[in-house]
Chains A and B, each alone.
Chain A
Amino acid sequence: MSGHPVIVGGGSAGMAAAIELVDAGVRCTLIDEASRPGGVVYRGPLRAGVDLGYLGARYSKALGKLHTDFAARAQSIDLRLNSRVVGGDDHSLVVLDEQEQLQSLAFEQLILAAGCHERNVPFPGWTLPGVMLLGGLQLQIKSNVVKPLGTTLIAGTGPLLPLVACQLHAAGAKVAGVYEACAFNRIARQSLALMNKPQLFLDGLSMLAYLKLHGIPMHYGWGVVEARGEGELTEVSVAPYDDAWKADMTHVRRESVQTLAVGYGFIPRTQLSQQLGLAHGYSTDGYLRAECNVWQQSSLEHIHLAGDMAGIRGGEAAMLTGRIAAVSILQQRGVLNAAQAIERRERYLGQLASIKRFRSGVERYTARGPAQVELPQADTVICRCEQVTREAIDLALEQGVQDMAGLKMRTRVSMGDCQGRMCVGYCSDRLRAATGRADVGWLRPRFPVDPVPFSAFKHAGTEA
């Protein structure tokens, strides 16, 4: 067993936690599935010689600083890249290593910083090639340095929409327009909360100015209703949304585009936290997340959560929660005494407070309208892996299916490779609406979290 704390996820939370630990003289092991640390926010380009000017100066600076700080401590960090944690329990992880072999890694202390995934919103045509999730598209331009084909239309809700629109345009891609589902007055009502992060607020305003300057229209209270094309996307239909996000189909507008990026926010990853047996609760938005206290400690005191896994707040907050988790571990190991630990925690919590207020403002204006679940038609696929249509889900609900597990068995939703990551949001929304219950269960993730080759068991061993 490694006495070092183990960190799962080398994004901003995991990296910040590692830095905090090393600075206090504690070595750690950090596992990430990518070939470079940084996570989706700060991975940076995967190839050399890229000028990141199109992502903005402040981003490039933050990216550079995090990687420099991390690199300076590299000797004390056992960094395992291209390694995926595919299972585990309360004292060990199962890791698919770089050689595609499964290894068991025991831990005494663990920080889970596995981040989040995007919320999928099904609508007619959402599975057509050319329709992407907004975060995925951003990652394409940030890390793979690949521009989308042709003209892009951006739809969804939240501050990521104008940001990606600016980044795309700055990278030389053509943007047809941005469709924000919320009415402008709903956003304006949150301006006080948004002023908690004046720089971000200003960034937001300057993004809007940038879009205006470059003739990229920003539409408020509009959303996507359909994507069309023969084999690939050629046309997107948008319509005005009311407060409940019910689309007004009498005012549908059609735009010819080759790429549609849809961004309706993020859901914390729970595959690992559930497997490890941690306590979970539901957010106001209805998604499941692992619970943690002010020390970022989960229901098991030797397992901490950091970053978006513990609630969606973005990269800057992730670094702070990563540091708080590390401080808690330092106290558990006796490196810091209680007073020192609390003093440090309070410092980080102070910085976190304004981000929290800012994010609450964002959360309030981006709160999803309940009518969004009505977008799919009878034949619209909801579960992509198993090709389950809305019709099948409607029938199951009519037949009295009451919970996620029942819906899974009746329709096969979530039985595919992704274990429901894509369809669980929609299914949960429908079940809650149909049963009137807040808790309709969630999908229990099974080992392995991602498919693993049978050959990975060949030399399956336990690391001493």
Chain B
Amino acid sequence: MNKTYDIVIAGAGVIGASCAYQLSKRGNLRIALIDDKRPGNATRASAGGLWAIGESVGLGCGVIFFRMLSSQAKRQAHGAAVAVDSSTPHILPQCFFDLALQSNALYPQLHQELIERHGMDFKFERTGLKYVIQDDEDQLYAEHIVKHIPHLQSQIRWLDRQALRKAEPSVTENAHGALEFLCDHQLSPFRLGDAYMEGARQNGVDLYLNTRVTGVLHQGGRIKGVRTEQAGDFHCDTLINAAGAWAAELSEWATGTSIPVKPVKGQIVLTERLPKLLDGCITTSDCYMAQKDNGEILIGSTTEEKGFDVTTTFPEISSLVQGAIRCVPALEQVNLKRTWAGLRPGSPDELPILGPVDEMPGYFNACGHFRTGVLTSAITGVMLDKVVHEEALPLDITPFLAQRFSKVALPA
């Protein structure tokens, strides 16, 4: 049972599906999108925040990550658990801002395109993201953020106590105010994944779901195909690794070299459907909150290195709940409907790993998107489509190449 394609994409989360969708638009490629459902895939677990600035400055999903890093650093420095210090914001490099902002800018058009051409609505909503300031430490942190992003002043707005009350009446009266990121919005993450995938399918991409890639085929020092458990061998010239938290293994098979992608667990809490309680997305130093189009409020999320474990754990869920109630006291009266955990494909520098590797022609990375895969899926699809075809890219791919991890300089 041999199948022949131009391109095989391994992994049909938002990243793989976005690559498939963008490549399928060319209309002249035979593309297979292969996916194996494993517990914890990040697309389904995600909150669906398009928090381009928020995530770049360590808020949203990043806030707990940042606190973890900073408390670790402090603990190492002082040898004991101490209060978390918010004085040094966790701000990603400029190349990430560029990637995130360019990707973010693609969504309004992409939303329209997928609805009009393919009948798939991923529920893009313009919400803004408010960092709610609940104490002096938060205030200090917000000020640092603003200082670090002078070029984005047009996209931020300070809300004082009164303005915040007016904008978000459900937020606690104890809040001092908020820092709002005007271009940070939200969508439904699993609908985004499904929209890309269905668009790709309608454009002629073959879907192989519940199909596990078990090996990579080589010939003459380049990629020749993949082996699967359920559907036999696939022959192809190009293999895109979009395997999310499982990308390291596939890279190893394909190139003989591993990439430093590790699962980073995030637990999430979901409320029952509620009337409009939040006008926009909220991030605090405890958690983030996003009320989705159907009224449910999604509260996230933890950042844990527990391997591929996807159990939800009581203390962590409890701490998200307490954090949410602290910022939106009315939540105390509502029901918690669901919790789950997903595995972010974590990379050590929090930047995705994109593009070709020198040693293995035909192999491309589209992985390591950590906590911003939904946000950067749009640009990732565009970049991969162009890089596979050796066309001009919308931005420099160099900082995202896997080679940045090679510690030893290659001989000239």
B68 at the interface (CB under 8 A from A): no
Note all chain A residues with C-beta closer than 8 A to B331.
Answer: 454
A406 at the interface (CB under 8 A from B): yes
- On whether the beta carbons of A457 and B318 are closer than 8 Å, the reply is yes
A446 at the interface (CB under 8 A from B): yes
A94 at the interface (CB under 8 A from B): yes
Mask of A201-215 contacts with B, CB within 8 angstroms, 1/0: 000000000000000
- On whether the beta carbons of A446 and B334 are closer than 8 Å, the reply is no
- On whether the beta carbons of A448 and B339 are closer than 8 Å, the reply is yes
Query: How far, in whole Å, are A460 and B190 apart by their CA atoms in the complex?
Result: 32
Known A447-B317, A460-B314; contact A399-B201, beta-carbon cutoff 8 A: yes
Known A451-B336, A454-B336, A460-B318; contact A402-B201, beta-carbon cutoff 8 A: no
B23 at the interface (CB under 8 A from A): no
- On whether the beta carbons of B314 and A451 are closer than 8 Å, the reply is no
- On whether the beta carbons of B336 and A410 are closer than 8 Å, the reply is no
B residues 159-194 touching A (CB-CB < 8 Å): 190-191, 193-194
Mask of B304-347 contacts with A, CB within 8 angstroms, 1/0: 00000001101001100110110000011111111110000000
- On whether the beta carbons of B338 and A454 are closer than 8 Å, the reply is no
- On whether the beta carbons of B335 and A454 are closer than 8 Å, the reply is yes
A65 at the interface (CB under 8 A from B): no
A residues 397-445 touching B (CB-CB < 8 Å): 399-400, 402-403, 405-406, 409-410, 417, 419, 441, 444
Mask of B185-224 contacts with A, CB within 8 angstroms, 1/0: 0000011011000100100000101100000000000000
Note all chain A residues with C-beta closer than 8 A to B193.
Answer: 409
Known A400-B201, A400-B209, A406-B209; contact A448-B311, beta-carbon cutoff 8 A: no
**Which chain B residue shows the least CB distance to A104?**
B314
**Which chain B residue shows the least CB distance to A441?**
B37
Query: How far, in whole Å, are A448 and B210 apart by their CA atoms in the complex?
Result: 27
* CB proximity of A248 to chain B, nearest CB, Å: 36
- On whether the beta carbons of B337 and A451 are closer than 8 Å, the reply is yes
Note all chain B residues with C-beta closer than 8 A to A399.
Answer: 198, 201
Note all chain A residues with C-beta closer than 8 A to B338.
Answer: 419, 446-448
The size of the chain A interface, using a CB distance under 8 A, is 29
- On whether the beta carbons of A453 and B190 are closer than 8 Å, the reply is no
Known A454-B332, A457-B322, A460-B318; contact A403-B209, beta-carbon cutoff 8 A: yes
B44 at the interface (CB under 8 A from A): yes
B272 at the interface (CB under 8 A from A): yes
Query: How far, in whole Å, are A403 and B333 apart by their CA atoms in the complex?
Result: 36
A455 at the interface (CB under 8 A from B): yes
* CB proximity of B33 to chain A, nearest CB, Å: 11
**Which chain B residue shows the least CB distance to A452?**
B336
- On whether the beta carbons of A447 and B339 are closer than 8 Å, the reply is yes
**Which chain A residue shows the least CB distance to B328?**
A454
- On whether the beta carbons of B311 and A452 are closer than 8 Å, the reply is no
* CB proximity of A456 to chain B, nearest CB, Å: 8
A69 at the interface (CB under 8 A from B): no
A89 at the interface (CB under 8 A from B): yes
Query: How far, in whole Å, are A14 and B261 apart by their CA atoms in the complex?
Result: 47
Of the candidates A402, A446, A457, the one having the most CB atoms from chain B within 10 angstroms of its own CB is A457
Query: How far, in whole Å, are A417 and B191 apart by their CA atoms in the complex?
Result: 20
Note all chain A residues with C-beta closer than 8 A to B194.
Answer: 409-410
Known A447-B317, A448-B339, A454-B325; contact A403-B334, beta-carbon cutoff 8 A: no
B39 at the interface (CB under 8 A from A): yes
Known A444-B39, A446-B340; contact A452-B44, beta-carbon cutoff 8 A: no
* CB proximity of B320 to chain A, nearest CB, Å: 9
Of the candidates A104, A406, A417, A454, the one having the most CB atoms from chain B within 10 angstroms of its own CB is A454
Query: How far, in whole Å, are A447 and B341 apart by their CA atoms in the complex?
Result: 11
Query: How far, in whole Å, are A406 and B335 apart by their CA atoms in the complex?
Result: 26
Note all chain B residues with C-beta closer than 8 A to A444.
Answer: 39
- On whether the beta carbons of A451 and B272 are closer than 8 Å, the reply is yes
Query: How far, in whole Å, are A456 and B339 apart by their CA atoms in the complex?
Result: 15
Q: Out of B37, B39, B191, B207, which one reaches A403, CB within 8 Å? A: B37
* CB proximity of A19 to chain B, nearest CB, Å: 32
Of the candidates A87, A417, A451, the one having the most CB atoms from chain B within 10 angstroms of its own CB is A451
Note all chain B residues with C-beta closer than 8 A to A446.
Answer: 312, 338-340
**Which chain A residue shows the least CB distance to B119?**
A395
Query: How far, in whole Å, are A191 and B405 apart by their CA atoms in the complex?
Result: 73
A residues 354-407 touching B (CB-CB < 8 Å): 399-400, 402-403, 405-406
- On whether the beta carbons of A454 and B190 are closer than 8 Å, the reply is no
Query: How far, in whole Å, are A277 and B37 apart by their CA atoms in the complex?
Result: 18
Of the candidates B191, B317, B325, the one having the most CB atoms from chain A within 10 angstroms of its own CB is B317
Query: How far, in whole Å, are A87 and B191 apart by their CA atoms in the complex?
Result: 28
Known A89-B311, A409-B190, A457-B322; contact A402-B333, beta-carbon cutoff 8 A: no
Query: How far, in whole Å, are A379 and B312 apart by their CA atoms in the complex?
Result: 36
Of the candidates B39, B311, B318, B335, the one having the most CB atoms from chain A within 10 angstroms of its own CB is B335
Mask of A89-122 contacts with B, CB within 8 angstroms, 1/0: 1000010000000101000000000000000000
- On whether the beta carbons of B201 and A452 are closer than 8 Å, the reply is no
* CB proximity of A178 to chain B, nearest CB, Å: 38
Query: How far, in whole Å, are A441 and B210 apart by their CA atoms in the complex?
Result: 10
* CB proximity of A160 to chain B, nearest CB, Å: 31
Of the candidates B44, B314, B322, the one having the most CB atoms from chain A within 10 angstroms of its own CB is B314
Query: How far, in whole Å, are A417 and B273 apart by their CA atoms in the complex?
Result: 9
Note all chain A residues with C-beta closer than 8 A to B44.
Answer: 405, 409
Query: How far, in whole Å, are A400 and B204 apart by their CA atoms in the complex?
Result: 13
* CB proximity of B324 to chain A, nearest CB, Å: 7
* CB proximity of B391 to chain A, nearest CB, Å: 30
Note all chain B residues with C-beta closer than 8 A to A419.
Answer: 338
Note all chain A residues with C-beta closer than 8 A to B210.
Answer: 402-403
**Which chain A residue shows the least CB distance to B39?**
A444
Q: Which residues of B contact A (CB under 8 A)?
A: 37, 39, 44, 190-191, 193-194, 198, 201, 207, 209-210, 271-272, 311-312, 314, 317-318, 321-322, 324-325, 331-340
Q: 10 tightest CB-CB pairs across the interface, nearest first? A: A451-B335, A409-B190, A457-B321, A402-B209, A446-B338, A455-B332, A457-B318, A447-B339, A451-B337, A447-B312
19 new A-B contacts, CB < 8 A, other than A102-B314, A405-B44, A441-B37, are A94-B314, A399-B198, A400-B201, A402-B209, A406-B37, A409-B190, A417-B337, A446-B312, A446-B339, A446-B340, A447-B312, A447-B338, A448-B336, A448-B337, A448-B338, A453-B334, A454-B334, A457-B318, A460-B318
